[in-house]
Amino acid sequence: MAKIVIMGGGVSGHTAASFLKKWLGKKHEIIVVTPNSQWNWIPSNIWVGVGEMTKKEVTFPLAPVYAKAGIDYRQAKAISIHPEGKDGDDTPFITIASTEESKMGQEDEITYDYLINATGPKLNFDATPGLGDGNGQLGKHTVSVCTADHAIHASEELEKSIEKMRAGERQRFLIGTGHGMCTCQGAAFEYIFNIEHKLNDAGVRDMADITFISNESFLGDFGMGGIHFSMGGYATSSKVFAESLYAERGMDWIIGCHVNKVEDGKVSYELLDGSMGEKEFDFAMLIPPFAGVGLKVFAKDGADITSSVIAPNGFMKVDANYSAGSYENWKASDWPRTLQNPTYKNMFAIGIAFAPPHLISKPMSSPNGTPINPTPPRTGMPSAMMGKAVAQSIVDMINGASEPTHTASMSEMGAACVASAGKGLFSGTAAAMTVYPIVPDFEKYPGVGRDMNGTTGELGLAAHWVKHILHHLFLWKAKLKPGWTLIPE
């Protein structure tokens, strides 16, 4: 009997655990360790953040789902990995600390035959002074839509701003990235347009000044170096489409920007040209940068070997080329395929938890040496596909395969992204994009880096319907309801 431990129950880890249990059945043990008691369909937090959905509509309790599936669920956070076992016992194990209220902090050890790191990001609010509270949590000057609870708070603050505007007081909105090395520009894009749509619905749009602030060197970079869409015979840059929408909706933008301080009603920032600036606000949502969750790794003798397994950014090393060097030398083949740790072959990292070989966007910094460039996004579709591929590989390895048998490289897969620009059955719009491949391959697709037959984008009501339907489909799938495997990742 094999024992597979999955650290993290988000999109990636939950997908891996679900398929592992389906394919391996009762003969093998599947354990999920996650600090959250609820599963969250994160893409819809945007709608919670503008008061268009409730927390209950975007979350569900994990325990009953895992109990029904026969998956052992531990509400705990993983603390350390011991891939070589300990003195007197070679069995690898992890240490965990419970996050259940009744057993908060209680530590335990779980042995494993295979380990999947799907721990996702640490929301590194404290990386920018004033963005966090000094204890790793969201500070008091801004709101967030990264979690359902954050989004509830954001919607309450938004409602206060709307009331002020109704009373005749102008409000300044600042939405974007809160650090020079953030990812998730797409989420900020969605939130700013949903706010604008909400203000229009509330009849107060003319009382609002809305500004987008981003570390992208051009609008539409999205951490992917931009995208060229096939449109009317042209390969059209995402820069054109993004600027078009911001301009149409009357928004200003500050780009190439590293926010270096957040205070009450004001951010300070540095631009790519080295100049400094300040921007005042009444309502601000700034995405924090991501880091790894802080896992430590120890050898059999107790020596700290974290740096050999975990990259400096806190994400786990896998089969990527970490020696690619400068931007001019980057290749699509730098990106990992099997997501297997090169040292410990029974360990994998998926979703946001794996260490990318480098950025996708071109690295940039100010003359002062401040890095200001988006980091690579790992969105839901590729994260889930990684979870499924690693699950398939582990099943085959349990059955005798010496190496992983399935791959999920971001340079060999596409992503379907639907970015909401406002919710409404007949008034909503969204940008439906297909991008192939996610990581551009300029050798295979010279000039644009992507397959023009598979890279498309359009804005409209239909895309909003798609997004709303996907909300329901993916929650159905995550709850492992009948037919869940028919819904593709």
Site map (CB under 8 A) of another protein, residues 461-480, x = contact:
xxx-xx--------------
Q: Which amino acid is located at 303 in the chain?
A: A
Of the candidate spans 157-165, 293-301, 303-311, 423-431, the one that interacts with another protein by CB under 8 A turns out to be: 423-431
Of the candidate spans 86-94, 162-170, 238-246, 282-290, the one that interacts with another protein by CB under 8 A turns out to be: 238-246
3-state secondary structure 413-452: CCEEEEEECCCCCCCCCEEEEEECCCCCCCCCCCCCCCCC
Query: In the complex with another protein, which residue's Cβ is closer, 291 or 416?
Result: 416
Q: Which amino acid is located at 145 in the chain?
A: V
Per-residue burial over 81-114, b = 16 or more CB atoms within 10 Å of its CB, e = otherwise: bbbbebeeeeebbbbbbbbeeeeeeeeeebebbb
Give the chain's largest Cα–Cα span.
72
DSSP designation for 424: -
Of the candidate spans 20-28, 61-69, 291-299, 453-461, the one that interacts with another protein by CB under 8 A turns out to be: 453-461
246 binds another protein (CB under 8 A): yes
214 binds another protein (CB under 8 A): no
303 binds another protein (CB under 8 A): no
436 binds another protein (CB under 8 A): yes
Of the candidate spans 40-48, 67-75, 247-255, 311-319, the one that interacts with another protein by CB under 8 A turns out to be: 247-255
- At closest approach, how far in Å is the CB of 414 from another protein? 4
Q: Which amino acid is located at 158 in the chain?
A: L
Among 78, 80, 434, 449, binds another protein (CB under 8 A): 434
431 binds another protein (CB under 8 A): no
The three-state secondary structure class of 209 is strand
Among 321, 333, 456, 484, binds another protein (CB under 8 A): 456
- At closest approach, how far in Å is the CB of 251 from another protein? 8
Among 149, 157, 243, 396, binds another protein (CB under 8 A): 243
247 binds another protein (CB under 8 A): yes
- At closest approach, how far in Å is the CB of 296 from another protein? 33
What dihedral angle (degrees, nearest 10) is formed by the CA atoms of 423, 427, 428, 430? -170
Select from 338, 317, 307, 302 the least CA-distant residue to 410: 338
∠ CA 475-75-55 to the nearest 5 degrees?
A: 40
User: Which two three-digit tokens encode residue 95?
Assistant: 């240490």
- Residue 74: alpha-carbon gap to chain centroid: 23
Strands 228-231 and 72-82: unpaired
Site map (CB under 8 A) of another protein, residues 365-394, x = contact:
----------------x---x---x-----
Of the candidate spans 69-77, 94-102, 241-249, 277-285, the one that interacts with another protein by CB under 8 A turns out to be: 241-249
Cα→Cα distances 187→42, 175, 355, 375, 396, Å? 10, 10, 21, 14, 36
Site map (CB under 8 A) of another protein, residues 400-419, x = contact:
------xxx---xxxxx---
User: Which two three-digit tokens encode residue 62?
Assistant: 């994990």
252 binds another protein (CB under 8 A): yes
- At closest approach, how far in Å is the CB of 42 from another protein? 19
64 binds another protein (CB under 8 A): no
User: Which two three-digit tokens encode residue 476?
Assistant: 């159905």
- At closest approach, how far in Å is the CB of 477 from another protein? 13
192 binds another protein (CB under 8 A): no
DSSP of 81-101, one letter per residue? Answer: EETT-BTTB---EEEEEE-SG
- At closest approach, how far in Å is the CB of 15 from another protein? 13
Select from 313, 285, 310 the least CA-distant residue to 376: 313
Return d(Cα 318, Cα 93) in angstroms, integer.
Answer: 19
Query: In the complex with another protein, which residue's Cβ is closer, 232 or 482?
Result: 232
Query: In the complex with another protein, which residue's Cβ is closer, 314 or 437?
Result: 437
- Residue 46: alpha-carbon gap to chain centroid: 13
DSSP of 444-476, one letter per residue? Answer: TSTTTSS-TTT-EEEEEHHHHHHHHHHHHHHHH
Query: In the complex with another protein, which residue's Cβ is closer, 279 or 406?
Result: 406
Residues that bind another protein (CB under 8 A): 240, 243-244, 246-248, 250, 252-253, 381, 385, 389, 406-408, 412-416, 426-427, 429, 432, 434, 436, 454, 456, 458-463, 465-466, 488-489
